[in-house]
Amino acid sequence: MRPFVDLDWVLAQGQGVVLADVRWYTDGRSGRRAYDEGHLPGAVFVDLDRWLSGEGSPRAGRHPLPAPEVFAEGMGALGIGDDDRVVAYDDGGGVIAARLVWMLRVTGHEAALLDGGLLAWDGELERAPAQRPPAVFTPRPWPPERLADIDDATDPANVVLDARDRERYRGDVEPLDPRAGHIPGARSVPARENVDEKGRLAPVDALRRVFEAAGVRDGASVVASCGSGVTACHDLLALEQAGLGSGRLYPGSWSQYSHARDRPVATGDEP
């Protein structure tokens, strides 16, 4: 599967895909409540904090990757099995749901983001939770070649992309972490700018121009960072969609880096 699929493709598959609603909000709103108020027919709700993250800490960041066994438990309980194809969505251009898609893809499963997300659907939404029988989902280790750490994020040999909104990158505001700014050398490629006002992914040519302007070339060693390793996954999926490789995720991201007081911080528009 390509990293992004449209609604027509999903509808053509019938029961051949599992829809996953991965809504989550930094302002404290409940993704589960949003799901209960209306979701795509047949979609299961995937809890970011419970199944897609480990226990957060200043040392590990807010959303470290969970143990593979925890991820497997969550997927199996939701009725997602080893051989299922998953299409995930949210209501914010896919920048949250990208975490699930990335986690599935790097562990060898077929998964994609629904281009346009919830806004792509113009039919009636369901309110009753989807019920799927439990499935077998085998734990698989996170592949080390797809991960980066704090040293990789500061290595000038890597092209480091910062997927946060530009005002956080510049250090104008910092609503969540102890220091404002960005990792020195990191380039601003906001995940929310990968899509238009309807949540549709930009054309491949436009994506390539953005990534190339940030220093990404064929064969480049790319590390994606954000606030806590969630929206960076959208940059990685967009990178792959643009045909520029897969890159590596820095799970700790700014929520880890900003707590490391011995590490320098950059502000402003320049890397």
Mean predicted confidence (pLDDT) in 80-90: 98
**Cα(145)–Cα(237) distance, rounded to whole angstroms?**
16
Q: Name residues whose C-beta falls within 8 Å of residue 28's C-beta, 6 or more positions apart in sequence.
A: none
For the domain bounded by 145-257, which CATH number is listed?
3.40.250.10
Mean predicted confidence (pLDDT) in 113-132: 96
Q: What is the pLDDT of residues 27-60, one digit of tens each?
A: 999 999 999 999 999 999 999 999 999 999 999 9
pLDDT of 219 above 90: no
pTM (2 d.p.): 0.97
pLDDT of 228 above 90: yes
**Cα(237)–Cα(196) distance, rounded to whole angstroms?**
16
CA distances, 232 to each of 55, 83, 86, 98 (Å) = 19, 26, 20, 8
pLDDT of residue 115: 98
Mean predicted confidence (pLDDT) in 59-78: 98
- Provide the residue type at 133 as one letter: P
List every span in the chain annotated with CATH 3.40.250.10. Answer: 4-141, 145-257
pLDDT of residue 41: 97
| CA dihedral for 166, 170, 173, 177, sign (positive or negative) | positive
Mean predicted confidence (pLDDT) in 136-164: 98
Mean predicted confidence (pLDDT) in 234-238: 98
Percentage of the chain lying above the pLDDT 70 cut? 100
Catalytic residue among 101, 163, 214, 226: 226
| CA dihedral for 16, 78, 32, 228, sign (positive or negative) | negative
Q: How many CB atoms lie within 10 A of CB 12?
A: 11
pLDDT of 14 above 90: no
pLDDT of residue 250: 98
pLDDT of residue 57: 97
For the domain bounded by 4-141, which CATH number is listed?
3.40.250.10
* Catalytic (active site) residue 226: yes
Mean predicted confidence (pLDDT) in 180-193: 98
Q: What is the pLDDT of residues 194-217, one digit of tens each?
A: 999 999 999 999 999 999 999 998
